[in-house]
Chain A
Amino acid sequence: MARVIVILLFAFLCNAQDFQKECMACHQRKGIDLKKIYFDYLLEYSSKRATIKAMQEYLLSPDPSKQLYIDAKPYKHKVDKKSLDKLLEIYWNRYTVIGKIR
């Protein structure tokens, strides 16, 4: 039991670290707030499924007409689809409002 928790915690931390490394690091460096971007996407797409789908579509092939963060030139993210799936899931869970409203 305890082992399972340790493994899960490890996996979670790994994921969190993955996200920190793969996404946050660059964004913090460039001062592009991912939390703000998250809320902008939410405002536009509402559900988890639609939001993640839209992000994925944009990040893999940026379309200026669909860009939400307009303070920068469209940036083609260098990430493959499979790891992006995982990272966006972490991204969503990190900022989701569900469970955080009192």
Chain B
Amino acid sequence: MDTNLTSEKSSLYKFLSLYIFLTIIIFLLASTMYYKFEKEVMLYSKLPKLQEYSKDVIRRIRAMHNSLLEDNYYPRYSNFKSAIYDADYVKIFSLLRNEKIDFQNYLYKRDRYIYFIKEPSLYYLGAKYVVIEVLDDEKWLTRVYKNILIYGGIFIVFMAIIGYFLGKQFLRPMKESFMLLNNFIKDTTHELNTPVSTILTNIETIDKESLPAKLQKKIERIEIAARTISVIYKDLAYLLLQDKIPSTIEKIDMNELIGQRVDYFKTMAEAKKIKISFSKSPCFLQADKQKISRLVDNILSNAIKYNKIGGTIKIKTFKNGFYIEDSGIGIEQSKIDEIFERYRRLSSSEGGFGIGLNIVLAIAKEFNLQIKVDSKINQYTRISILWQE
């Protein structure tokens, strides 16, 4: 039944991936904006210092200019480097480490250096641009990274929590309807049991021999219908409660058990004029009796359901197993594995829940029983249940 939720799950995953994608986008956007903002703040905080440096340089080149370059010693400072460029961006003199200057920007950072471009009012030595270069200690950058890490982390956690609740909200209606359905089935199956057993016990007390043939037929049909419902009920109950009922292991006389079950289905078989032959040898199994009768019931009812009118059912027990063989439609070799899948019916034309063989498989698994299927299309299907000594 968990398969019911797969489509909802895939849409939940789609929703979650979109959500994560958006979260990442927001995170990246906010981080870059914050980074840029902090960079601007850092640059502007350096501005007064840079202005001062540029004034020092200009004062110096003015003196050089006024001496008509008799004094030609360019100023050098320990805390910054500088250069002068003319109006056509031709280098006049430079001490810079990086001479690729962006003249469109008067204040910017490239690599590890901050650049400031000052235009003197008069072009001493022809210098229209005085470029100042200082090394950035990048302390602000580590702070920015640290903040992005901390606040980004908080943001991501926050978004994850919101995403978790949104996802839950997303799944809740599905979960609720699923639970509702499950409970409904549980309740109905339970309510079903009492009337069906009442019908069956009452039918059993009727002395059919004394009734006219026509009425006998009708009673038989009612009995078959009631037994079918009863089997379906037991199957459903098994499916819904299997994990809640612990198995009680006992030594089962399989001849006795199969005999009882054959009796139970006798009316159904007779209605289809199916002859059942049962050849017994001593056969015992250590298992839960309730569950093993579910297993036998399911194999038997399938053998009746998929048999032809006037067909046969051969049952044989032996030391470590038994088989039930019908003379029905058979199964294609390639489909034998598929038939144990839940809800799959042997042929789409037949009715039924199709959960029967799945139950057989589950019970066989629990008690380590081996299932063997031999079949020839339109001739027979033989289901063998085998176990180790």
Chain B residues contacting A39 (CB-CB under 8 Å) are: 65, 68-69
Q: Hey, which chain A residues are within 8 Å of B72, CB to CB?
A: 97, 100-102
| Distance in Å: Cβ of B224 to nearest Cβ of chain A | 111
- The segment from B123-131, B283-291, B297-305, B347-355 that touches chain A is B123-131
Please tell me the size bucket of the interface on B: 20 to 34
A35 at the interface (CB under 8 A from B): yes
Residues of A within 8 A of B68 (CB): 35-36, 39
User: Interface-forming stretch among A20-28, A45-53, A64-72, A82-90?
Assistant: A45-53
Residues of B within 8 Å of A98, CB to CB, are: 90-93
Q: Which of B57-102 contact A (CB under 8 A)?
A: 64-65, 68-69, 72-74, 86-88, 90-93
Number of interface residues of A (CB under 8 A): 18
Q: Mark A31-42, 1 if CB is under 8 A from B, else 0.
A: 000011001001
B74 lies within 8 A of A47 (CB)? no
Neighbour of A43 across the interface among B69, B90, B92, B123, CB < 8 A: B123
A99 to chain B, nearest CB (A): 9
Among all A-B residue pairs, the 3 with the closest Cβ atoms = A46-B87, A46-B123, A47-B88
Question: B-side interface residues toward A, CB under 8 Å?
Answer: 64-65, 68-69, 72-74, 86-88, 90-93, 122-128
Partner-B contacts on A (CB < 8 A): 35-36, 39, 42-51, 97-98, 100-102
30 A-B contacts, Cβ less than 8 Å apart?
A36-B68, A39-B65, A39-B69, A42-B65, A42-B123, A42-B125, A43-B122, A43-B123, A43-B124, A43-B126, A45-B87, A45-B123, A46-B86, A46-B126, A46-B128, A47-B88, A47-B90, A47-B128, A50-B87, A51-B126, A97-B69, A97-B93, A97-B126, A98-B90, A100-B69, A101-B69, A101-B92, A101-B125, A102-B73, A102-B74
